[in-house]
Structure 1
Amino acid sequence: MTALRSIDVVTIGESMVLFQPSPEGTIPYASLFASSVGGAESNVALALSRLGKTSRWISRLGDDPFGKMILSTLTGEGVDVSHVITDDQHPTAVFFKESKGYGDPNVYYYRKNSAASYFSKEDISSSWFLGAKHLHVTGITPALGLQTAEMVSEAMKQAKEQGLTVSFDPNIRKKLWREDEARETLLPMVALCDLFIPGIDEVKLLVGERANDVDYAKACQHLGPQMVAMKLGSEGAYMRFGNEFHREPAYRVNHIVDTVGAGDAFCAGLLSVLLDEEDPFNIVTLRRSVSQAAKRAAAMGALATQFKGDWEGSPTLQEINSLITGDQYTTR
C-alpha cells in the first residue's frame, strides 16, 4: 500500500529579507525602504499554498529578527516551516532591489556567510520528504558554495529514493558565480530531475548554441529529465516530453512593473496542475494535463510582473481560473 502523501511539494533554499526604496526610486537617495521576503524556493512554496497545494519550505535561518520575519511570513501563508534549521552563529541574508524605470530591476545581494550558505548534506534528514509527493529545487542554492551544491544534489537523490518526483529550475544568477562554474555544477543535476524548467538564456549557457527551441529542448532531454518546460519570455513557453511537445503563447499584459519572481510563479502554476495527477510525468498523463498546466504557468508568470514584490501578487486558485477563463467573480 502506498503511504499517504499529505505534502504536495517540498522546496529547499535560501530566503532573504528584501528592501526596496519607498516610494520607488534609486537606493542612494532613498530615505525610506519597504521590507518583504524573497527567495526563489519560498516564492514557489508561497504561490503553491495560495493555489491550494500543501507546501513545505526547508532552509537555514539566522537566529535574528530577519529570520523570524521570514518564518512568520511563510507560516502566515500556510507553508510548513517545521524543518527549518535555526543557526545562532550566522545571520539571515538580506538583499536590496531598485528600479530605474527601464529594464529589469537592479539587485544587490548581502548573503556571504549567511546561515543558508552553511547548508551541507549532513543537514539532510529523511523526515524532510516524509509524506511528500514532489521536490522542487533551483540552481541558486548550489551557487552559494561547494557544500550547498553537494547538499542539493544529495537531496535530489534521496528524494527520488523515497519515491518523490523532482523538478529543477537552474535560475542562474550571474552575480553569484561564473558561467563555467554554473555549467559544471548544474549540468549533472539536470540528470536527477523529472522536470527541468530553464529559461532560454539558461539553456544556451548550459548546452551551447542550437538551431531552434526544438533542438534546445532535445539537448535538455538527452541529459535525462522526462519533461522539459522552457520559459521563452515574451514568446511564451515550449514543453517537450518524449517525442511530443506543446507550445504555449505568452499571456499578454499591458505594462510590466517588475520581472523578478515571474519564473517562480511560472513554476508554481505548472506544478499546481501537473501534481493533480497520481503519476504526473507519465507520457499518457502529460498528454492530458500539459495544456492546462502550460496555460496556468503562463498566466501566473505574466501576473507576477504586475507587482513589485517577489510573491505578494500570487493569486488564489479561484482568481487565476477566473483570469484564464475570463469569468467574473464577486469582489464586493
Structure 2
Amino acid sequence: MDVVTIGESMVLFTPDSISSLTFASKFDKTIGGAESNVAIALARLGHQVGWISNLGHDDFGIYIRNMIRGEGVDTSQVKFLEDYPTAVFFKERKMVGEPQVFYYRKNSAASQMTPKDIDESYIAKAKYLHITGITPALSPTCLDTVMHSIKLAKKHGLTIIFDPNIRLKLWSKEEATPVLRDIANKCDIVLPGIDEGELLTGKIEPEAMAREFLQHDTSVVIVKLGKKGAYYATVEESGYVEGIQLEQVVDPIGAGDGFAAGFISGLISGIPISEAVHRANTVASYALTVPGDAEGYPYSHQIDPNYKEVQR
C-alpha cells in the first residue's frame, strides 16, 4: 500500500442548470470529500491507496463506497453504521466566481469515527498517511482518531502528510488554530494554502510561514498560491514553482485535493521536490476544468507520456 487516508465523503447534489438553490429543481448526484478526492486522484495516477471512513448503512453510503471502490481505491476499512446517516451537501452552479456550498453533515456516520476504527496492521502496510484538518473538526472522537492515526504512523515509520483544509463552517478560528497547529507540528509534510498558512502561523509571506512550520517535526512545507503556483521549502532547499495557466476555471473545488495527490504521487515516484510540486500543479489544473470534486483528475498517461503501468 502506498497511501492511506482517513476522512468523510458525502453525496454531492449540484443543480443541472446555473441558478441559486432557491430556484433549482433538478440535480446531478456525485460524491465529494477531501480525503476520498485525494485517494481517487492517486489511484488514477497508478498508486495503491486505501480510504478509511464510516458511512451510513443507507443507499447513499453504498453509492459512495461503490463509487470510490470503482476508482480502484481499497475500501476494505470502511464501516457502515445503522443509526447514523451518510452526509450530503449541495453546491451552487455559477457563471463566475467560487460557488457556495451547503453541508448537511451533523451527526453523520463519519463523525462517529473513533480510534477503534483504525486497524494498526492496515496503517503499518502503508508508506504514507494523508490527513486533513476537516476530519478533526467533525467531532471530538474524530480528533482522537486523527491523533491516534498519527501515533500509529510514527510507530511504523510512515511519512505523514497534512493538508490543513480549514473549514470554518465546522468550527471557529479560535477552536481550529491551536488544534491544527498541533497536528501540523507532528507531521512530516504540511500543505497549507496561503490563507491557511497565515491563520496557523500569523505570517504573511510564504517563506516566513515555511520557517515556522519547519521548527518542529515538519521537514517539507508546500504553500499553495493558487494560479501563481506554489512555494516549497525544506531545511536544505526552497523555491517557487509556477502554476499552470488556464483560459477558464470551471470549478475550483477539488483542486487543492488534486494538488495534494499530485505531490504525493511525485514523492512515491521519487522525483525531486520541485518536480513533485509541478506535478501537483498539473493535477490541480485538471480539476479546475470540469464541474465536480474528483471528475477532472487525470490518469497517468495524461500527464506523463512516458508512464508505464507498474506491475504489482
Same fold (TM > 0.5): yes
Determine whether 1:320 maps to 2:300: no
Determine whether 1:187 maps to 2:172: no
Structure 1 equivalent of residue 225 of structure 2? 232
Question: Is the contact between residue 185 and residue 213 of structure 2 (CA under 8 Å) also seen in structure 1?
Answer: no
Question: Is the contact between residue 188 and residue 220 of structure 2 (CA under 8 Å) also seen in structure 1?
Answer: yes
Percent same amino acid among aligned pairs?
Answer: 46
Which stretch of the first structure deviates more once superposed, 120-129 or 163-172? 120-129
Structure 1 equivalent of residue 25 of structure 2? 31
TM-superposition CA deviations, 1:94-153 (whole Å, max 9, x none): 000003323211000000000011111232221331421111000000111222111101
TM-score with structure 1 setting the length: 0.90
AA of the residue aligned to 2:254: G
5 Å-filtered alignment, 1:115-130, equals 115-130=109-124
5 Å-filtered alignment, 1:160-309, equals 160-210=154-204, 212-277=205-270, 289-309=272-292
Which stretch of the first structure deviates more once superposed, 215-224 or 230-239? 215-224
Question: Is the contact between residue 282 and residue 303 of structure 2 (CA under 8 Å) also seen in structure 1?
Answer: yes
TM-score with structure 2 setting the length: 0.95
5 Å-filtered alignment, 1:85-124, equals 85-124=79-118
- Per-residue deviation, 1:297: 0.5
- Per-residue deviation, 1:300: 1.0
Determine whether 1:13 maps to 2:14: no
Give the counterpart of 1:143 among 124, 137, 142.
Answer: 137
- Aligned partners of 2:95 and 2:176: how far apart in 1? 30
**SS of residue paired to 2:51:** strand
TM-superposition CA deviations, 1:44-94 (whole Å, max 9, x none): 000000000011000000000000001110111110000111111100000
- Aligned partners of 1:88 and 1:240: how far apart in 2? 45
**SS of residue paired to 2:175:** helix
Which stretch of the first structure deviates more once superposed, 238-247 or 51-60? 238-247
Give the counterpart of 2:47 among 28, 53, 56.
Answer: 53
AA of the residue aligned to 2:187: C
- Per-residue deviation, 1:191: 1.8
- Per-residue deviation, 1:23: 2.4
- Aligned partners of 2:174 and 2:199: how far apart in 1? 9
RMSD: 1.3
Question: Is the contact between residue 227 and residue 241 of structure 1 (CA under 8 Å) also seen in structure 2?
Answer: yes
- Aligned partners of 1:128 and 1:152: how far apart in 2? 15
Structure 2 equivalent of residue 330 of structure 1? none
AA of the residue aligned to 2:14: Q
AA of the residue aligned to 1:50: R
- Aligned partners of 1:148 and 1:192: how far apart in 2? 17
AA of the residue aligned to 2:275: Q
**SS of residue paired to 1:228:** strand
- Aligned partners of 1:34 and 1:46: how far apart in 2? 20
Question: Is the contact between residue 55 and residue 78 of structure 2 (CA under 8 Å) also seen in structure 1?
Answer: yes
AA of the residue aligned to 2:235: G
Question: Is the contact between residue 49 and residue 73 of structure 2 (CA under 8 Å) also seen in structure 1?
Answer: yes
- Aligned partners of 2:137 and 2:124: how far apart in 1? 27
**SS of residue paired to 1:122:** helix
- Per-residue deviation, 1:174: 1.3
Question: Is the contact between residue 167 and residue 196 of structure 1 (CA under 8 Å) also seen in structure 2?
Answer: yes
Question: Is the contact between residue 135 and residue 164 of structure 1 (CA under 8 Å) also seen in structure 2?
Answer: yes
- Aligned partners of 1:114 and 1:138: how far apart in 2? 18
Note the residue ranges of structure 2 that are not aligned, 5 or more in a row: 307-312
Note the residue ranges of structure 1 that are not aligned, 5 or more in a row: 1-6, 278-287, 326-332
- Aligned partners of 1:276 and 1:300: how far apart in 2? 15
How many residue pairs end up in the alignment? 306
- Per-residue deviation, 1:180: 1.0
**SS of residue paired to 1:132:** coil
